[in-house]
Amino acid sequence: MISIVLLVVPLAGALLLFVPGVDRRWYGVGVSGVTLAVALGAAAGFGYGHPGRMQYGVNAAWAPAIGLRFHLGIDGISLPLVVLTALLTFLCFVYSLRYPPSGRLFTALLLVLEVGLLGTFLALDLVLFFVFFEVVLIPMYAIIALWGGPGRRRAAYKFILYTLLGSGFLLVGILLIGVNAGTLDMVALAQRHGAGLSHGVQVTAFLLVGLGLAVKAPMWPLHTWLPDAHTEAPTVGSVLLAGVLLKMGTYGFIRIAVPMAPAGASVWAPWLGLLAAIGIVYGALACLAQNDLKRMIAYSSVGHMGFVLLGIATLTPVGLNAALFGNIAHGLITGLLFFLAGSVKERYGTGELSGIGGGMLSKAPRLGAILTFACVASLGLPGLAGFWGEMLALLGSYQPAPGLPRATFLTFMALGGLGAVLTAAYFLRLLSAITHGPSIRKAPVAALNRYEYLAWVPLIALTLAVGLWPKALLDLTTAPVQLLLGGGR
């Protein structure tokens, strides 16, 4: 029943919000806090001895006439993403306490967004997965279009058009799998490893599903909606967009595309690796060209998610573990970076690096110190969460799955290494521009308040914990990854 409760709490909260007399200031914190407590309860009661087994399952008839079932469950792959989603949503509401009470619509949209995100990671029926995958589009579109920056309408239109186009490919791909396999059950399909699907169907299905997921990931060159959406979205919108929404695409590759169409995965893996490697280098070069803090962080996501996609392209347990680890690390670190970008813009009145000027460590030492921590975590400093996903993705590229061209993947590994160096370069450039040197600002900078600390400290602590103790996360994902790959290689 925990799977149902995780969806019912935020959904009921969104509906009850419109009852007269609700205290809007603390309402979102309370509802998302209950959801987080349920997610943490699921983590506490999870059977860690069998992380590859679906737990907290619900499997009820939904539309029996066409074989649809309301099938939910949690395993070692989905559990970290469920907890991350609940945590970031709660922290967004905590961060929002800094402002006057948010409108009922804004709070309701965030809660509906949480329902769609959680449902995507819980769904075990292909059509149900697609439904939840689509649920997130309208609330995120509205959050950008109604509460974003000056260019919010254009960014929102671009977001919805790109993602709807990708969803069309995704729907055709999953229906192709379901019709030819005779079932929409994601667990059964993963256990078959393509049995019952011809080579041509698998190749076509992987391409269609992959295109739909690649838009959300986002993979170069389908990423162009992302910088605009991040730049114009309000702070909490950017945090959830980067921290969780992008993970829906890469999660779909691991949960659906790779295990259900393994022959198609083998055919398209080198191309997926190529686009991932280009995205890593392109994202880093684009960051070096940016003068806007939020836009720079947005382009950094293209590079970081490139490492995740490169890990998937290796089709090895090491590579898929790297992708899952990178998902969590990116959610923690980039979520923190977008929180910080919002606070910097509020204090300095601009997100332009040239407008912020230098001297943050002297003018606002705590803000500057936390920004420095987030940047060095994002550039992959050993001992912090960002290091392990990138390192393991490169290691997976060194020895890809049998049948994949090793020389090609060694080239991708070299490009990934170049991207890692460029990542360090643009983050050091950022820190040099705004934290060090003389300040051009004469007025004092407002101190951090308690709501900022409450929103940021958990992300800082988890970035350290995951970086220093990667075994905890890898032990959770290794067994289910091996099952999805047919027992490992």
pLDDT for position 393: 92
Any long-range contacts for 156-161 (C-beta under 8 Å, 24+ apart)? 156/229, 156/232, 158/224, 158/225, 158/228, 158/229, 159/225, 159/228, 159/229, 161/225
Phi-psi region of 253 (alpha: psi -120 to 50; beta: other; left: phi over 0): alpha
Residue 129 vs residues 56, 88, 118, 121, 210: alpha-carbon distances, Å:
17, 21, 10, 8, 15
Instruction: Give the separation between CA 284 and CA 425, rounded to whole angstroms.
Output: 9
DSSP state for residue 66 in the 8-state scheme: G
Say which residues have a Cβ less than 8 Å from residue 108's Cβ, sequence separation at least 6.
Answer: 14, 17, 18
| pLDDT on residue 457 | 95
Is residue 376 within 8 A of residue 384, CB to CB? The reply is: yes
pLDDT value, residue 228: 86
* DSSP state for residue 254 in the 8-state scheme: I
**Total residues belonging to the chain:** 489
pLDDT of residue 443: 65
The pTM for the full model equals 0.92
Collapsing DSSP to helix, strand or coil, 402 comes out as coil
Write out the H or E segment, with its range, that includes residue 64.
none
State which amino acid sits at residue 271: W
Q: Are 243 and 88 in contact (CB under 8 A)?
A: yes
Handedness of CA 311, 487, 49, 246 (dihedral sign): positive
Q: Give the pLDDT of residue 488.
A: 44
- Please tell me the predicted confidence (pLDDT) of residue 100: 66
Question: Closest Cα partner for 207 from 238, 170, 178?
Answer: 170
pLDDT profile of the chain (489 residues), mean per 10: 91 84 75 94 91 89 80 93 96 86 82 95 94 92 88 89 90 92 89 88 93 89 86 89 90 93 92 94 91 89 91 93 93 94 85 79 86 91 90 91 90 93 89 80 75 94 94 92 75
Helix axes of 78-96 and 24-45: crossing angle, nearest 10 degrees: 160
